[in-house]
Amino acid sequence: MAVPFSPGPETSVWPELSALAQRLGSAAVGELFAQDKDRFGRLSRQSAGLLLDFSRQRIDGRALGKLCQLADAVQLRARIDAMWNGEHINTTEDRAVLHVALRQNAGDGIGGAAIEKTVLTERERMLAFAEGVRGGAIRGSKGQPFRLVVNIGIGGSDLGPAMAVQALHAFTQGAPGCEFVSNVDGVHLAQVLAGADPATTLFIVSSKTFTTLETLTNARTARAWLAGKLGEAAVPQHFAAVSVNQKAMDEFKVHPQYRFQMWDWVGGRYSVWSSIGVSLAIAVGRANFQAFLAGGHEIDEHFRSTPWPDNLPALMGLLAVWNINFLRLPTLAVLPYDDSLRRFPAYLQQLVMESNGKSVMLDGRPAQSETGPVVWGEPGNNAQHSFFQLLHQGTPRAALDFLLPARSSCGNQPQQNLAIASCLAQAEAFLHGQSAQVVREALLQQKVPPAQADALVPHKVDPGSRPSSIVLFRQTDPATLGRLIALYEHSVFTQGTVWGINSFDQWGVELGKRITEQFVPAVEDPGKNRGAPGTVLKLLEAVKAWRG
């Protein structure tokens, strides 16, 4: 059965939303609060341990209702069902998209009985291995427990586990240390190896395809290092791998019991829930990894069954569409007020931009509207002291997502209270700004001479009405992290459905990979420069001269 495809810009709801946006586009959001004493009640939702406050968005009840109509008009419900049923909604790769199957419980049957079985079996194998490494039952070639786990991967085979191990640092007591090496230049790997004891180091080569230049290069360097220190025979006991590519794992001589399966129906950026998360499972242990999956599953159930007006991921996605297409805000700044979430913006960059950075619709026609936003961000307090100036007074406009836990991630609640105060204060400042009149009065009260005050006023005015959402939660724990990731995953799917694009392929990254392969010989051996195009010949000559 063909999956319904109704791009938002071609629905009758789209021009109605445009008209509403014209009216709201010049409204002061602070005024909207003044007109509606229960604005927070109307424009916030709490579910599955997350409180989404979108009362600071430039929106009202009518526009919200219309956005929910848009979700119906683009047949979001049918597309969700198609995803869950394992239909090949990733049309350009002819693949199902079943990361939701990775978070299922026995009996759920997501993706069908065979997929449920393979997921649960592989999950159990992976968790048993992780527990073995964590507890010291699985040891290195010299019989010593592993003290260091080095995940070698990139993109979705790096960002998810790297972000999650960082975020859940408080849950990693007693586990080996985890490092995540990704870049091809070898700098990070060299630093990690310099401090590593080969006898107690386990490498995990994470690569869905097992063909990725960066990962295979680092894996070979690590392998040579280990073989050099402990001998070739030791290698299998120090290398695990996660991939769909069994043949490549054979060739790499990965220990048969230390290999974990991936499936083509899991996109790299959606794979932290699979065995790609083995480093996370080693770091936080079986129960916490299961809690992480359960958190994601909770949001899956919520997304699948909740009407749009109360559906957190759908609302988040629809608000993103509102900001991008109707209020013309092409970027999203993600601002966690918990340093343990410091890699979350980087994680979201791949999730959002690799998924929705498309300009062609499912049927091959050009997209009829702007699509995915540029995502960026930093932990909130750091950002306040670097780029918030631009957000407050600069000309480029961004939408903002504040991520705010009530409880400290390190047991230091007094300092977390300062982070909470900072976050709420910034949200308030972005909402109300400060008018020329307020600025002028403050200056005069400080006894600044009137002429000087008048000169300063325009520099100190803050226009306010910068749209933001706050995602408030109790604590950055495994279940909550699972919920947060699934929240954004389904928001991304909602947005992609509205734009009528395929959120699950990534053809744009292929060209650069291919050209890199062509250039490697010319860079390695300048004698082979003849194959390189004129556009880079002079640069190659300069490289040669400076490289020595």
Catalytic annotation, residues: 354, 385, 513
Q: Which of 47, 118, 200, 209 binds ligand F6P (CB under 6 A)?
A: 209
Which of the ranges 135-143, 202-210, 232-240, 369-377 carries the binding residues for ligand F6P, by CB under 6 A?
202-210
User: From the centroid of its chain, how far is CA 306?
Assistant: 23
Closer to ligand F6P at the Cβ: 355 or 480? 355
Burial track 188-207 (b if 16+ CB lie within 10 A, e otherwise): ebeebbeebebbbbbbbbbb
Q: Which of 172, 201, 212, 237 binds ligand F6P (CB under 6 A)?
A: 212
Which of the ranges 203-211, 221-229, 359-367, 532-540 carries the binding residues for ligand F6P, by CB under 6 A?
203-211
Kindly provide the residue ranges of all beta strands, DSSP E only, lying in 207-238, ordered along the sequence.
none
- Residue that the structure tokens 């390190």 belong to: 410
Integer Rg of the chain from CA: 25
Contact 477, 291 (CB under 8 A): yes
What count of other Cβ atoms lies within 10 Å of the Cβ of residue 185? Answer: 10
Q: Give the full edge-to-edge strand order of the sheet including 331-336.
A: 44-47, 50-53, 468-473, 398-405, 331-336, 374-377
CB of residue 212 to ligand F6P, shortest distance in Å: 3
Closer to ligand F6P at the Cβ: 343 or 466? 343
Tell me the residue length of the chain.
548
Closer to ligand F6P at the Cβ: 274 or 416? 274
Closer to ligand F6P at the Cβ: 332 or 351? 351
Two structure tokens written together for 257: 């019991």
- Tell whether residue 509 is a contact of ligand F6P (CB under 6 A): yes
- Tell whether residue 476 is a contact of ligand F6P (CB under 6 A): no
Closer to ligand F6P at the Cβ: 87 or 505? 505
Two structure tokens written together for 229: 């220190």
Q: Which of 269, 343, 358, 466 binds ligand F6P (CB under 6 A)?
A: 269
- Tell whether residue 219 is a contact of ligand F6P (CB under 6 A): no
Q: Which of 151, 166, 207, 469 binds ligand F6P (CB under 6 A)?
A: 207
CB of residue 416 to ligand F6P, shortest distance in Å: 33
**Among candidate residues 482, 472, 494, the one with its CA nearest the CA of residue 314:** 494
- Tell whether residue 325 is a contact of ligand F6P (CB under 6 A): no
Closer to ligand F6P at the Cβ: 262 or 391? 262
Q: Which of 79, 123, 134, 208 binds ligand F6P (CB under 6 A)?
A: 208
Which of the ranges 50-58, 63-71, 209-217, 454-462 carries the binding residues for ligand F6P, by CB under 6 A?
209-217
Total interface residues for ligand F6P by CB under 6 A:
14
- Tell whether residue 160 is a contact of ligand F6P (CB under 6 A): no
Residues 349-408 that bind ligand F6P (CB under 6 A): 354
- Tell whether residue 506 is a contact of ligand F6P (CB under 6 A): yes
Instruction: Tell me how far CA of residue 53 lies from CA of 34, 46, 319, 467, 548, in angstroms.
Output: 17, 8, 12, 11, 58
Q: Which of 9, 140, 156, 161 binds ligand F6P (CB under 6 A)?
A: 156
Query: What does the alpha-carbon distance between residue 423 and residue 404 come to, in Å, rounded to a whole number?
Result: 7
What count of other Cβ atoms lies within 10 Å of the Cβ of residue 219? Answer: 26
Closer to ligand F6P at the Cβ: 417 or 516? 516
Per-residue mark of binding to ligand F6P, 135-154 (x: CB under 6 A): -------------------x
Query: What does the alpha-carbon distance between residue 211 and residue 135 come to, in Å, rounded to a whole number?
Result: 32
Q: Is 418 helix (H, G, I), strand (E, B) or coil?
A: helix
| Backbone phi and psi for residue 396, each to the nearest 5 degrees, phi listed first | -65, 140
Burial track 508-521 (b if 16+ CB lie within 10 A, e otherwise): eeeeeeeeeeebee
Which of the ranges 14-22, 98-106, 166-174, 205-213 carries the binding residues for ligand F6P, by CB under 6 A?
205-213
- Tell whether residue 259 is a contact of ligand F6P (CB under 6 A): no
Instruction: Tell me how far CA of residue 149 lies from CA of 175, 229, 282, 488, in angstroms.
Output: 10, 17, 8, 28
Two structure tokens written together for 406: 């009530």
- Residue that the structure tokens 């219309």 belong to: 66
Fill in the amino acid letter for 514. R
Fill in the amino acid letter for 70. L
Closer to ligand F6P at the Cβ: 99 or 302? 99
Residues 72-111 that bind ligand F6P (CB under 6 A): none
- Tell whether residue 275 is a contact of ligand F6P (CB under 6 A): no
- Tell whether residue 187 is a contact of ligand F6P (CB under 6 A): no
Give the interface with ligand F6P as residue ranges (CB under 6 A): 154-157, 207-209, 212, 215, 268-269, 354, 506, 509
